[in-house]
């Protein structure tokens, strides 16, 4: 029986993919490498270490995880200020979860600085969630299930009592391997790529009722 909902962040609560991609492109440009948005696509949902590092690896380009990621976040914060909005249905869906008495958590592969920046920009208080897990708190990132297992534990539930809401192929796999049920949103990938999920919707405003009643 469902007792908790675990939200991914990017592509679920907010669509910041365009902006972190732009920040990554600018960071690499400053270092002398020209890359395109398509270069980042295979690494979506895997956390910024892999999101940026995978592109550097593709081109055999030097990559300093802490320094280059830090610069990317500096650029990102400048770009997103005043621009981010919650995706359709986020506030209503969360209110429904609250009315049903479900615990709520965030499990994002992004670093803490990005998670908190995004929540602040879209007006979601951290106090709304029973736990917030970021990518720095797990060694193995999605598609490994570790972050969802940890999130379930933090809200004192078993994974099989939790619904995970994801938008990335790697995230859906992680959720299912953790033993959770999964609602996939087609904000980043098409439904054929997300078919491993239990339910698929365009965004939270179109989430089927049954995903919160099982």
Supply the residues annotated as catalytic: 8, 10
Q: Which residues of 135-161 are buried (b: 16+ CB within 10 A; e: fewer)?
A: bbebeebbbbbbbbbbbbebbebebeb
Give Cβ neighbours of residue 111 (< 8 Å, ≥ 6 apart).
47, 48, 69, 73, 134, 135, 136
């Amino acid at each position: 029986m469902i007792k908790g909902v675990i939200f991914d962040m990017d592509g679920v609560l907010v669509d910041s993919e365009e902006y972190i991609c732009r920040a990554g492109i600018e960071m690499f440009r400053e270092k002398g490498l020209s890359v395109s948005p398509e270069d980042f696509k295979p690494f979506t949902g895997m956390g910024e270490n892999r999101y940026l590092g995978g592109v550097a690896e593709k081109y055999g380009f030097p990559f300093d995880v802490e320094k280059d990621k830090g610069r990317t976040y500096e650029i990102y914060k400048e770009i997103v200020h005043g621009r981010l909005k919650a995706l359709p249905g986020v506030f209503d869906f969360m209110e429904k979860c609250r009315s049903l008495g479900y615990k709520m958590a965030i499990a994002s592969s992004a670093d803490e600085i990005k998670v908190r920046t995004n929540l602040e920009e879209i007006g979601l208080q951290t106090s709304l969630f029973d736990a917030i897990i970021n990518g720095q708190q797990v060694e193995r990132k999605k598609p490994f299930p570790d972050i969802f297992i940890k999130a379930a534990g933090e809200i004192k539930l078993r994974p099989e009592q939790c619904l995970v809401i994801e938008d990335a192929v790697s995230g859906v796999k992680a959720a299912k391997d953790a033993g959770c049920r999964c609602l996939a949103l087609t904000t980043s990938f098409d439904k054929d790529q997300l078919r491993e999920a239990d339910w698929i919707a365009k965004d939270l405003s179109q989430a089927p009722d049954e995903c919160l009643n099982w």
